């Protein structure tokens, strides 16, 4: 690993070029050219899971269906993440632009932006921007319509198949996979569902070219990423940084000098303690993140942090599958019992096993990822769980 | 309750009468009435020609679709750890003292309901709360006093 310092990047919010021009240039390109640019750039989903964006587009483009859809996942709910709100309020046209590029490649006539209920206050401005965008499309004679749909306060709807269920007026309960959305997504039609930030990068890649993007980051994590920095830091906020940096450099820049741990990737992510800062890479080869970076200094109780996360999961579990529904409740009761002294410290090992079981048996990413924060916090801060 | 009947009809005219219209219709009811009553749910079922159980199933899944009476102003304070670290507990206490209710309760005059909610997406400006759809960030007890004072006058 070459020594790499934190590098700021300005792609997402840059206003150097007019969205209208980028859109016009992009729509003039052939579908193959556009798709190859996204494939060659190495862009992977920015919502957290990191699936290669180009492949998603390619698979959907290959499907034969009368209707196909592009869906923008703006149901940003991961604790500690606020970058999508910032992107939507500052550069909405770029988000719509990414949707239009995707629509061209896969052959979709309709796109949907699913906005979380907590961001209702953004809707009017978004709609205004969308009207402007639709007028561009009309001028360019490109047949594509975007609709804004609202969520109603359910974290699980950020899971793609749950989001489709919600768009269809149902309870936001994840579906079995396969089939994947590229085959059967919204209304069981081939659908590309991308995170807000992923769509903006797709749009910008058509402007800057695959190579410029590919040159940023590391072999496994190409490009840059928007980070939401919060917690014990003198400079909380949104930062676009090159991927693949050591956590140590991140802490040096953003920490308050007394950083004890960083939770990378929100409640569903991993807790990295101080002794591992040096060897931890932020990216798909190390610890991936949808953008959430919560910094804790030594005055914080990691028990409180874990309890807050477990309570969050208990509340947001859709309740559909037993491992997640019961597992989250038991993890919460378990750590409380150990803290009270009703259970011995060895009980933490039993809870760890439960979390591991959830990882392999839960139906969707929510239940599967509870073990990430649970195990990484319990492993690294065991004494704080007990005393 | 002719008004609810009328409202449901209006919303169905606007959003359509398919399963996909269900969520926007329920959201429309909540933005007018602050909650979806049993009566409203059966009305929606009748208007959309679907079983009331389906409507109930969808309505009860979403935390912003309240199914019990709420005040005119619903306060949702973010309970995520980052807001907690910036003094959320003090904010909660201030709200409880001002409104003389606990979390989950509604004031006697049906003006305010106080709830906690998961991450609102303002972690860099915590503590944060929503009052209906309006967002308030960087809260301090003094600021909360001021904000609630303004709402009390409404």
DSSP string, A265-286: TGGGSEEEEGGGTTT-EESTTS
Q: With an 8 Å Cβ cutoff, are A149 and B24 in contact?
A: yes
Q: A159-172: string of b/e by CB count within 10 Å (b at 16+)? A: bbbbbbbbbbbbbb
Name the CATH superfamily housing domain B73-153: Glutaredoxin (3.40.30.10)
Helices (H) and strands (E) in chain B, counts: 7, 4
Burial B101-132 (b: 16+ CB within 10 A, else e): beeeebbeeeebbbbbbbbbbbbbbbbbbbbb
Q: Do A289 and A369 form a contact (C-beta atoms < 8 A)?
A: no
Q: What mean pLDDT do residues B143-150 have?
A: 98
Q: Which of A117, A228, A237 sits opposite B64 (nearest CB)?
A: A117
pLDDT at A49: 86
Could you tell me if residue A265 is left (phi over 0), alpha (psi between -120 and 50 degrees) or otherwise beta? left
pLDDT tier, A1 (very low <50, low <70, confident <90, very high otherwise): very low
Segment A292-340, tens digit of pLDDT: 999 999 999 999 999 999 999 999 999 999 999 999 999 999 999 999 9
pTM above 0.90, yes or no: yes
Question: Does residue A288 sit in helix, strand or coil?
Answer: coil
Q: Is pLDDT of A273 > 50? A: yes
Helices (H), A317-364: 322-340, 347-361
Nearest-neighbour CA in chain A from B108: distance (Å): 26
Domain ranges in chain B are: 2-61, 73-153
End-to-end Cα, chain B, rounded Å = 25
What confidence score (pLDDT) does residue B1 get? 66
Contact between chains at A169 and B85 (C-beta distance less than 8 A): no
- pLDDT score recorded for residue B2: 75
Nearest to A304 by CA among B85, B93, B140, B119: B85
Q: Which residues of A are less than 8 Å from B64 in CB distance?
A: 117, 152-153
What average pLDDT does the segment A49-56 reach?
Answer: 95
Query: What are the tens digits of pLDDT across the range A337-369?
Result: 999 999 999 999 999 999 999 999 999 999 999
The pLDDT assigned to A251 comes to 97
Q: In terms of C-beta distances under 8 Å and separation of at least 24 residues, what long-range contacts does A183-188 make, across chains too? A: A183/A59, A183/A63, A185/A69, A185/A71, A185/A160, A185/A161, A186/A69, A186/A71, A186/A112, A187/A67, A187/A69
User: Is A318 in the B-facing interface, judged by CB distances under 8 Å?
Assistant: yes
Tokens encoding B4: 């609810």
- For residue A102, pLDDT over 90 is answered with yes
Which of A120, A110, A77, A277 has its CA nearest to residue B27?
A120
Q: What is the pLDDT of residue B93?
A: 98
Lookup: tokens for A278: 């040096």
Distance from CA of A309 to the nearest CA of B (A): 8
Query: Could you please report the per-residue DSSP string of A161-230?
Result: HHHHHHHTTS---PPPSSSPTTTS-GGGS-EEEEEHHHHHHHHHHHHH-HHHHHTSB-SSSBSEEEEEEE
Structure confidence at residue A16 (pLDDT): 81
Q: What is the pLDDT of residues A186-238, one digit of tens each?
A: 999 999 999 999 999 999 999 999 999 999 999 999 999 999 999 999 999 99
Give the CA count within 13 Å in the CB-facing half-sphere of A381. 28
Q: Output the six-digit token pair for B69.
A: 């009476």
pLDDT in tens, B39-81: 999 999 999 999 999 999 999 999 999 999 999 999 999 999 9
pLDDT score at A344: 96
Pairing type for strands A270-273 and B112-117 reads: unpaired
Task: Indicate the residue of B18, B57, B81 with minimum beta-carbon distance to A171.
Answer: B57
Contact call for B124 and A230, based on CB within 8 A: yes
Q: Which domains, ranges and CATH numbers included, belong to chain A? A: 19-214 (3.40.50.11540), 302-386 (1.20.1440.230)
ipTM given for this complex: 0.96
The Cα A204–Cα A300 span in angstroms is 40
**Residue A243 burial (CB count, 10 A):** 25
Cis? peptide before A90, omega within 30° of 0: no
**Average pLDDT score, chain A:** 96
**pLDDT for A2 beyond 50:** no
B69-124 pLDDT, tens per residue?
A: 999 999 999 999 999 999 999 999 999 999 999 999 999 999 999 999 999 999 99
pLDDT band at A17 (very low <50, low <70, confident <90, very high): confident
**A71 pLDDT more than 70:** yes
Q: Which member of B63, B81, B125 has the closest CB to residue A153?
A: B63
CB distance B121 to B78 below 8 Å = no
Which chain A residues have a beta carbon less than 8 Å from that of B82? 79-80, 230-231, 294
Nearest CA of chain A to the CA of B85: how many Å?
7
């Amino acid at each position: 690993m070459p020594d790499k310092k934190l590098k700021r990047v300005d792609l997402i919010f840059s206003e150097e070029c007019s969205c209208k021009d980028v859109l016009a240039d992009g729509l003039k390109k052939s579908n193959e050219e556009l798709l190859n640019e996204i494939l060659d750039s190495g862009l992977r989903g920015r919502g957290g899971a990191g699936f290669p964006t180009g492949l998603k587009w390619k698979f959907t483009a290959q499907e034969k269906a009368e209707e196909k859809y592009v869906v923008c996942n703006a149901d940003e709910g991961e604790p500690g993440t606020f970058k999508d709100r910032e992107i939507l309020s500052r550069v909405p046209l770029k988000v719509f632009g990414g949707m239009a590029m995707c629509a061209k490649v896969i052959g979709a006539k309709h796109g949907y932006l699913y906005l979380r209920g907590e961001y209702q206050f953004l809707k009017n401005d978004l709609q205004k921007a969308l009207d402007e965008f639709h007028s561009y499309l009309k001028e360019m004679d490109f047949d594509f319509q975007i609709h804004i749909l609202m969520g109603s306060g359910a974290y699980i709807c950020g899971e793609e198949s749950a989001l489709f269920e919600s768009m269809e007026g149902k309870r936001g309960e994840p579906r079995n996979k396969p089939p994947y959305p590229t085959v059967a997504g919204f209304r069981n039609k081939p659908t590309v569902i991308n995170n807000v930030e992923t769509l903006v990068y797709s749009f910008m890649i058509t402007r800057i070219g695959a190579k410029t993007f590919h040159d940023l980051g590391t072999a496994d994590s190409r490009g840059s990423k928007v980070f939401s920095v919060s917690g014990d830091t003198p400079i909380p906020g949104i930062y676009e940084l090159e991927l693949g940096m050591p956590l140590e450099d991140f802490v040096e820049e953003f920490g308050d000098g007394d950083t004890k741990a960083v939770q990378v990737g929100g409640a569903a992510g991993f807790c990295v303690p101080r002794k591992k800062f040096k060897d931890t890479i932020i990216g798909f080869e190390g610890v991936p993140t949808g953008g959430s970076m919560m910094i804790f200094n030594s005055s914080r109780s990691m028990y409180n942090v874990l309890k807050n996360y477990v309570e969050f999961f208990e509340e947001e579990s859709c309740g559909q599958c037993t491992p997640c529904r019961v597992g989250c409740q038991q993890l919460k009761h378990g750590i409380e019992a150990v803290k009270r002294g009703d259970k011995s410290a060895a009980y933490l090992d039993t809870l760890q096993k439960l979390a591991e079981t959830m990882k392999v048996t839960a139906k969707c990413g929510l239940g599967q990822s509870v073990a990430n924060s649970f195990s990484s916090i319990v492993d690294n801060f065991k004494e704080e769980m007990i005393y | 309750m002719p008004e609810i009947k009328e409202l449901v009809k209006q919303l169905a005219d606007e959003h359509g009468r398919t399963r996909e219209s269900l969520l926007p219709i329920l959201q429309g009811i909540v933005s007018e009435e602050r909650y979806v009553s049993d009566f409203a749910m059966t009305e929606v079922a009748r208007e959309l020609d679907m079983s009331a159980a389906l409507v109930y199933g969808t309505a009860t899944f979403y935390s912003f679709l309240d199914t019990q009476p709420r005040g005119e102003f619903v306060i949702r304070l973010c309970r995520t750890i980052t807001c907690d670290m910036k003094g959320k507990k003090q904010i909660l206490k201030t709200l409880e003292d001002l409104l003389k209710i606990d979390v989950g309760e509604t004031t006697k005059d049906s003006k305010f309901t106080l709830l906690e909610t998961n991450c609102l997406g303002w972690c860099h400006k915590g503590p944060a709360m929503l009052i209906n759809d309006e967002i308030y960030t960087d809260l301090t007890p003094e600021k909360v006093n001021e904000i609630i004072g303004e709402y009390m006058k409404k």
